[in-house]
Structure 1
Amino acid sequence: MSHLIDDTHDPARRSWVATAHGSEFPIQNLPLGVFSPPGGRPRGGVAIGDMILDLSLAARSGLLAGPAKLAAEAASGRELNALLGLGAGPRRALRRRLSELLTDRSPDRPEVETWLYPTARCELHLPCAIGDYTDFYAGIHHALNVGRQFRPDSPLLPNYKHVPIGYHGRASSVRVSGAAVRRPNGQRRAPDAEAPTFGPAQRLDLELELGVWIGPGNALGEPIAIGRAADHIAGLCLLNDWSARDLQAWEYQPLGPFLAKNFMTTVSPWIVTAEALAPFRTAQPARPAGDPRPLPYLWDETDQASGAFALELEVLIASEQMRRRGSPPHRLGRGPATNLYWTVAQMAAHHTSGGCDLRPGDLFGTGTISTPDEAGVGSLLELTRGGQRPVSLPTGETRTFLQDGDELILAGWARAEGYVPIGFGPCRGVVIPAAAPAPAAACAP
């Protein structure tokens, strides 16, 4: 199983990389990503403190052998798909060997130091070439909060507690943290209007989600059993599924999200591996009395006992005025990831239950993760009750939805008693104005 706890999780283990202790990336984390060093091509790397370890250099070293060397070689190119496809065994071997080399007792420090680059001098990229992106709707409190705005007496549709709801997203517009978020143009119809208009979205929103990176895939027509689904999950990241609520309200019936969602999705750059997350596995919260038990293909006792994650997630905003003043970002909400109604294993099992094949480097979004109260809602649609109750910022500004110049920041930490906390790194983006609409085609003579 990929969630075994071993000496790489030892809270007493420390690295000779001075900035690792107390950072989001201590030696107990070692997340995977893709970076370019100054003047260099993209290649796989591992974050340790404020440094990045170059896996292409590690792969050429005699300090790695066997499955660890195989994993480093697979991660030496422009994306990590090949590494994720190898599965948990080589990933775990690479993690263990790098942990040994980075520990403060390592005799190999002089050579390993030559593999390190300061993160601040590097460019971070998407960790994988994403073949497919699926966005789920597994945050039950988000579903309830939004549903109550439109269906007060019946906020959840009848299928919600029986099946993990999802839709096929647009992989081409997934971007790594830091990329600008251009406000989309689209059709929207005001409630009192007879016809739609076209122009920049007026109700631009965020969605706080976890991203789920797929490791080994499955053959077309061969479903992944729920009891084996966790072995197909390579790791997690933070994900902001930017949403244009006014476009969404007009276009989503009867087929669901389209332009309101496909213009941009932001992910944090590091894959926090299933191995690093092992100490932070926790029980899936029990379903309330009266809720249906999932059908057998979605139910596994081990998954229920350890298929959730002890993660603390938060959303922050920094307006353009706040950044000019040097004001710290303002927290909009904070809450636990255990507010997901379905586990990531249930998502994978359901996704493939009809025969769909997943491939290494595919990406899931969990759906917006919110709390039942206002302390940790994951979207402005919920926090402002559909724009009816503005949020006040420290500068005196107010927001119902996002304005141009606003920066949104997602953050996440894994915490469990007796273990060193690990982080995900930032997932951020600044909203920039919409593009000018394309000119009308000239008429033929």
Structure 2
Amino acid sequence: MRTSEARTRNWAGNITFGAARLHRPSSLDELRRIVAGAQRAHVLGSGHSFNRIADTEGDLLRVDGLPPRVEIDRDAGLVTLSAGMRYGELTAELHAAGLALANLASLPHISVAGSVATGTHGSGNGLRGLASAVTAMEFVGADGELFTLSRAADPERFPGAVVHLGALGVVTALTLEVEPAFEVAQWVTTDVPLDAVVAGYPEIAASAYSVSVFSDFHGGRATVLVKRRLDREEARHPGERWLGGTPAAGPWHPIPGMPATFCTEQGGVPGPWHERLPHFRAEFTPSRGEELQSELFLPRERAVEAVRELRGMADRFAGVLQTAELRTIASDDLWLSPTEGRDSMAVHFTWVKDIETVLPVLAEVESRLLPLGARPHWGKVTAATPAAIAACYPRLADFRRLAESLDPEGRFRNAYLDGVLAAAG
């Protein structure tokens, strides 16, 4: 086991964690002893959160030092994995076994457990978020003992436990649904007028297995990235002048100035699911952390209104916004999922790394989009108050009661969670 008293920062470097100690246990017994002896404890995944949801004034825990575990049950269509694994590690093992996950996030570098805990999602009109693939979870509880929750055995509590914000215990293993491996090809269409996006966004989002629209809004143009699943869709580019745009002449990166070699292969070249569904290659670091991120999830029927509102802020984005991405996700039943109960469109903002410049612009964005039903991503920067965040999640009070039943002393709580859960009705 490694224990350090040095301060730890998140991937972007905008957060310095306040933990007294950082532990990286190498066995389950070590982890259980640390949890049982801690006054407050919280888990840090791959560090791709941009706020203090992973912080603690007590003991910060990494679980990527625990023994790796990948157990495939082909007959049941399930894989059980150790919580410290990253998607890039898991997907390589699954693909070698001829299996796949239905959906992936943009980055294969993020941890599976951390993505699930915060409702990180991937994209596709008919695809639910990453957490919806979970069928069972193993935790170390506040007393240091192991317990398991599953959809089959705990149908009442399980939907509340999957997107858990680290408030229920330390996840040590997850079981996910898998399916046979498949191939994907992706195409990029550049220089699309934003007017075409506003006029046809529902049709654009429904045009392929996964679709992303990128824009900085102040330029009045967009780029559309289409990913087709080749066992279900025809392997073709949408068209030479689709949406009034132009097929990309070569590899393209969503962030201006970043090397396109970091991106998964485009240009309609077929490839394995795990090498096309993410935007970025697992073998490259996609950027240097010189950014801040925010994300808002809206009811899908409000998508066009939301894009119009953002277009109306075009001048405010100049010099502040690197890019924004529009994508869709199907509804689920997970209490704290940003897509709980409704098909959604997510707007992901990649900002410059200057919080003082970003916050006033983000506050205006949220003032326009929260009235349309937007929900802030749990792991990203927001200007919303804890009360405003709590009002976005109708099952938050139920989750607070679940957390209190599993962790009555609040061992896994932190300042961020204290504020949000206190605001739950």
Q: TM over 0.5: same fold?
A: no
Which structure is higher in RCO with an 8 Å CA cutoff and minimum separation 6?
1
For normalisation by structure 2, the TM-score amounts to 0.24
For normalisation by structure 1, the TM-score amounts to 0.23
Structure with the greater alpha carbon radius of gyration: 1
